[in-house]
């Protein structure tokens, strides 16, 4: 699988790790959509099920640059195999949306955008998912204050 990926995307594969039976491939941000499309459509691989899409703020990790990591957990039902893809970006740097590859990514990308503040390019409906629309800040970031009083928001129409 990795050989195939390397052949197809020689410049986009940054790192491959196989730890505790979990395969992780780090992909260049600009290529993520094409890599995902390839993994979904390749007749032998068929990663057609997006299990999860989430993000990690690496601010307090030893290796903190680039700061954010978007993590994709892919499942191939045909081969019963799992794969983790990662994309690393700096704050404010957009990631290619994969909603065109898996519809499932829609809400999960919105959640990442909402809670971690990572924008997705070409997302059809990039709004906050769980926080109110007028909320400021991104709560899952490591530098989001957890001890201050949360700002209260007003009900719609009473502004």
Partner 1 sequence: MTETRTMTLNMGPQHPSTHGVLRLVLELDGEVVVRCVPHIGYLHTGMEKTMEDKRYQQALTVTDRMDYLAPMSNNLAFVLSVEKLLGIEATERARIIRVMMAELTRIKSHLVWLGTHALDIGAMSVFLYCFREREKILDLYEMVSGQRMMSSYIRVGGLMADLPDGFERRVRDFIDEFPKRVDEYEDLLTHNRLRQQRTVGIGVLKREEAIALGVSGPTLRAAGVPWDIRKVWPYSGYDRFRFDISLAHNGDVYDRYRCRIFEMRQSTGIVRQCLDRLPKGPVNIDNPKIVPPPKPMVRRSMEALIHHFLLYSQGFAVPAGEAYVPIESPKGEIGFYVVSDGSNKPYRVRVRPPSLLNLQALPRMVEGRLVADVVAVIGSIDIVLGEIDR
DSSP result, 66-119: S-EEEEEEEEETTTTEEEEEEEEE-TT--EE--TTT-TTHHHHHHHHHHHH---
Q: Report the Cα 54 to chain-centroid distance in Å.
A: 5
Phi-psi region of 150 (alpha: psi -120 to 50; beta: other; left: phi over 0): beta
CB contact at 8 A, 137 and 144: yes
- Contact status: 139 vs partner 1 (CB under 8 A): yes
- Contact status: 102 vs partner 1 (CB under 8 A): yes
- Answer for which of 3, 10, 60, 136 binds partner 1 (CB under 8 A) is 60
- Contact status: 32 vs partner 1 (CB under 8 A): no
Among the candidate windows 26-34, 87-95, 127-135, 151-159, which touches partner 1 by CB under 8 A? 127-135
Among the candidate windows 2-10, 29-37, 72-80, 90-98, which touches partner 1 by CB under 8 A? 72-80
Neighbours of 70 (CB within 10 A): 25
CB contact at 8 A, 24 and 17: yes
Q: How many residues bind partner 1 (CB under 8 A)?
A: 37
- Contact status: 16 vs partner 1 (CB under 8 A): no
Among the candidate windows 7-15, 27-35, 90-98, 123-131, which touches partner 1 by CB under 8 A? 123-131
- Interface with partner 1 by CB under 8 A: which residues? 19-20, 22, 24, 48-52, 54, 56-57, 60-62, 71, 73, 77, 80, 82, 84, 102-104, 106-108, 115, 128-132, 139-140, 144, 146
């Amino acid at each position: 699988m990795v050989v195939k990926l390397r052949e197809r995307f020689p410049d986009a594969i940054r790192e491959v790790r196989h730890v505790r039976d979990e395969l992780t491939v780090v992909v260049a941000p600009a290529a993520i959509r094409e890599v995902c499309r390839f993994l979904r459509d390749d007749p032998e691989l068929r990663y057609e099920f997006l299990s999860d899409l989430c993000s990690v703020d690496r601010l307090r990790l030893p290796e903190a640059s680039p700061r954010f990591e978007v993590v994709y957990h892919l499942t191939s039902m045909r081969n019963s195999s799992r794969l983790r893809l990662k994309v690393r970006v700096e704050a404010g740097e957009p990631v290619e949306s994969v909603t065109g590859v898996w519809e499932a990514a829609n809400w999960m990308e919105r959640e990442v955008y909402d809670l971690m503040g990572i924008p997705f390019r070409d997302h059809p409906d990039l709004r906050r998912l769980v926080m109110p629309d007028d909320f400021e800040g991104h709560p899952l970031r490591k530098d989001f204050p957890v001890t201050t009083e949360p700002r209260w928001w007003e009900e719609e129409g009473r502004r």
